[in-house]
Chains A and B, each alone.
Chain A
Amino acid sequence: MGDFDFAVIWKSREILWSGMLLSLKLFGIALAGGIFFGTLLALARLSSWRILSWPATGFVNLIRSIPFIMAIVWFYFLTPMVVGKITGQQGEAVGPFTSAIVAFIMVESAYYSEIIRAGIQSIPRGQPWAAYALGMTYWQAMGQVVLPQAFRNMVPIMLTQAIILFQDTSLVYVVGLKDFLGAASKQGQITGRIVELYVFVAIVFFLICFFASWAVKRLQAKYSISR
């Protein structure tokens, strides 16, 4: 056992905190974007129009069959190129953080669309039919009848997926962003205290995810009784 100096964590608190803020920002935006586009993707997959359902199915299956890191490096490469084509700007039109956000929203929307699709399919067919029979349009039936019920059924799975997403934010390390892990890694190289910093990162992630999973489990237990 070597000698360890955990004071380095207190000394690095500001850098670690700014890293955590970046992780949380990425998490929040990816979660909101993932659920929003995931819902649209799920509706497209369930659509009777093949022009919508085929590309949506293809996209979801493609994203789900490649590693998350591969998806990140793909969008890291594609985003500046596409944005450059649209705006006519060259080079550094979008920063690494924006590219990472696009990558996370794309990947999470594919993952969330599968959860949401299952949720929508758990609603009896009679519900949208009844809504149509009452004269509702597609969006009214979906927005006011099907989706509110589907989302309520999906809450526990969506929260579990959110915890996984929070863990996955650490993958932006591969494109050199200073998220919580990236900041700790940089700081570890500067101070030569990489062991202390990685152990600290592991403990923080564990505590957050452990208590979040515990809360989800409690919510689920409470919820399943009320049904």
Chain B
Amino acid sequence: MDWGIFLQKAPSGGLTYLDWLVSGTAWTLLVSIFAWVIAFTLGSVIGVVRTTPTRIPRAIATAYVEIFRNIPLLVQMFLWYFVMPEVVPKAWGDWLKTELPNLVELPFAPQFSAWEFTAAVLCLGLYTASRVAEQVRAGIQSLPRGQTNAGLAMGFTLPQVYRHVLLPMAYRLIVPPMTSEFLTIFKNSSTALTIGVLELTAQSRQISEYTFKTFEAFTAATMIYIVITLTVIGLMRLLENRLAVPGFISKAASH
């Protein structure tokens, strides 16, 4: 075993293999965090809509969840990256494929393509939104029906019931399942390697191809994944304790 390999210079750009790992970690985190913003926002809206008594919006929200849940993530990745530019008007498709990749130039990441990054973020975000929606819905539905009724009886409108009664409770109850959804998005971000995003798994494979030190390269990437996972779990446990509802077992709403 030769752990010194990470201090060696990679063939181009004067970077070491350690720099490759660091940049891979950064892209993994960036893709995950951007995608999480989409997943959390859209997933919350869809999850709430699925619990409301509005017939048509609820049907749309249900259809969204069914479509995004029942197509493999990797296939969705290819739909965004390869298929979308061909089915939108031609001028847009050309812009996506030729203009967008060079739109943002990053001095520290010369290979960066804004198009691949965008496709990966969109894909992961919209896919995970369907999972987040299910958690939000489960959280709201785990609250006793009497809470809604009491709110309405107090003269609140339905949006006010959601704003002041249901959501403040539901979001505190679903912190643990939301943590695992974030960890899912973080792990799933590795599928972005199939469309050319050089995230952590891709970088470790690349190091192994250049140096034949496969064991060291994979071990390093695995350690980084574990450290980040443990950090997220630790931080969320702190948050969970701060947000815990007195009198409730904090593991509610997870299934």
A, B: real partners: yes
Q: How large is the interface on A (under 10, 10 to 19, 20 to 34, 35 or more residues)?
A: 20 to 34
CB–CB B194/A173 < 8 A: yes
Minimum CB–CB distance from A5 to chain B (whole Å) comes to: 12
Q: Which of B4-12, B82-90, B141-149 contacts A (4 or more CB under 8 A)?
A: B82-90
Number of residue pairs A-B, CB distance < 8 angstroms: 99
Is A67 touching B79 in the complex (CB atoms < 8 A)? no
Least CB distance, B28 to chain A, in whole angstroms = 9
Q: How many of B's residues come within 8 Å of A, CB to CB? A: 39
Write out the residue numbers on chain A whose beta carbons fall within 8 Å of the beta carbon of B58: none
B225-254 residues with Cβ-Cβ distance < 8 A to A are: 225-226, 229-230
Q: Is B76 an interface residue (CB 8 A)?
A: yes
CB neighbours of A210 from chain B (8 A): 66, 70
| A195: B residues at CB distance < 8 A | 82-83, 86-87
Name 17 interchain pairs, CB-CB below 8 A, sorted by A: A65-B230, A67-B190, A67-B201, A68-B190, A70-B221, A73-B218, A74-B222, A77-B208, A170-B72, A171-B191, A173-B194, A205-B70, A205-B71, A206-B67, A209-B69, A209-B71, A210-B70
- Check B165 for interface membership: any CB of A closer than 8 A: no
Residues of B with C-beta under 8 A to A62 = 222, 226
CB pair B72 A74 closer than 8 Å? no
Tell me if B75 and A198 are in contact (CB < 8 A): yes
Query: Is the pair A170, B82 in contact by a Cβ cutoff of 8 Å?
Result: no
Q: In whole angstroms, what is the CA distance A77 to B216 when docked?
A: 12
Contact (Cβ within 8 A) B205 A73: yes
From A171, A198, A209, B83 is in contact (CB under 8 Å) with A198
Q: How far is the CA of A67 from the CA of B208 in the complex (A)?
A: 17
Besides A167-B73, A185-B78, 9 more A-B contacts (Cβ < 8 Å) are: A66-B222, A66-B225, A67-B189, A69-B190, A70-B204, A70-B218, A202-B76, A209-B69, A213-B69
